[in-house]
Amino acid sequence: MTMVKHCPRCNRSEDEVAFYGEFCEDCARKDVLEKVKNRVGIVVCKKCGRIRVSGEMLDFTKDNLESAINKSIKTNRFKLVEYDDKTAKGFIMERTRDGTIKSPFEVELDRKSINCENCFKKAGGYFEATFQLRGDMKRANVFLGRIERYFEKHGGFVTKTEKVSGGLEVYVSHKSIASALISSDRLKTVRSYTLAGVKNGKQVYRNTYTVRFEDEIVTRPVRKRDSL
């Protein structure tokens, strides 16, 4: 005769409730939740609204908030369902040999507001490179939009844009991102360098990239002569 399993904590039997290992479902769930802290700190930039995940400032999205919570509670088991400024609600998913225990879980969010490095630098007018856009202004403005989107996507920013005689001066945060954009778009540029100062005993240069957009040539269809 097979003996009925009983939970060593609450004495319920496997005839009454599902078991996960040696414990009943309820006691196994309690054991999971006792190991997870229900208060976590998140860092959010008060200017751009991005959230810090593993030392990197990312857009504040549901997925990135979930990642930040899991990093804080040192697990990848929390699945976020909904959240507001103070709490995040979801489930703790614990895999066992007998299946996955899904436990409702609510996390209190201890929000810390900061000025992220990018916003701090931008406010101070920081820039490492300049794009000089010359020639056809319509095409120059289209490329300005491309610069703004590319830098935002890759964690940089446009510090400022100035209209000058003959075009635009676009000051950007990172030389590395500027170089990557030039390579990505296979741009023909004229490059120059300006000494910006000395850091840790080494000379620091700012890069200038001149991009010239030729005026678009409008061609009109040639009208055929009537046959004689």
User: In this predicted model, what pLDDT tens digit does every residue of 145-168 receive, in sequence order?
Assistant: 999 999 999 989 999 999 999 899
C-alpha count within 13 angstroms, C-beta hemisphere, residue 81: 11
Q: Please indicate, yes or no, whether residues 147 and 94 belong to a single structural domain of this protein.
A: no
Q: Please indicate, yes or no, whether residues 85 and 142 belong to a single structural domain of this protein.
A: no
Tokens standing for residue 33:
């939740």
Question: Angle 36-39-67 (CA atoms, 0-180°, nearest 5)?
Answer: 75
User: pLDDT above 90 covers what percent of the chain?
Assistant: 55
As a whole number of Å, the CA-based R_g of the chain is 29
Residue 25 binned pLDDT confidence (cut-offs 50, 70, 90):
confident
In angstroms, the Cα distances linking 2 to 7, 13, 18, 84 are 16, 13, 17, 50
**Residue 1: inside a domain:** no
**Residue 40: inside a domain:** yes
**Residue 5: inside a domain:** no
**Residue 220: inside a domain:** no
Look at residue 118 in the predicted model and tell me its pLDDT: 92
Q: Per-residue pLDDT for 227 more than 50? A: no
Q: Mind listing the pLDDT tens digit for each residue in 49-84? A: 999 998 899 999 999 999 999 888 876 688 999 999
Look at residue 225 in the predicted model and tell me its pLDDT: 54
**Residue 202: inside a domain:** yes
Look at residue 89 in the predicted model and tell me its pLDDT: 93
Q: Please indicate, yes or no, whether residues 107 and 139 belong to a single structural domain of this protein.
A: no
Number of separate domains in the chain:
2
Bridge pairing between strands 99-114 and 23-24 = unpaired
Q: Mind listing the pLDDT tens digit for each residue in 170-221? A: 999 999 999 999 999 998 899 999 998 888 888 889 999 999 998 654 445 5
What domain range includes position 107?
Answer: 36-114
Q: Please indicate, yes or no, whether residues 84 and 156 belong to a single structural domain of this protein.
A: no
Q: Please indicate, yes or no, whether residues 132 and 106 belong to a single structural domain of this protein.
A: no
Look at residue 77 in the predicted model and tell me its pLDDT: 82
Q: Please indicate, yes or no, whether residues 199 and 139 belong to a single structural domain of this protein.
A: yes
* 3 state SS of 121: helix
Of 3 and 170, the structure prediction assigns the larger pLDDT to: 170
For 89-102, what is the HEC assignment? EEEEEEEECCEEEE
**Residue 23: inside a domain:** no
Q: Per-residue pLDDT for 228 more than 60? A: no
Q: Please indicate, yes or no, whether residues 139 and 207 belong to a single structural domain of this protein.
A: yes
**Residue 15: inside a domain:** no
Q: Please indicate, yes or no, whether residues 183 and 132 belong to a single structural domain of this protein.
A: yes
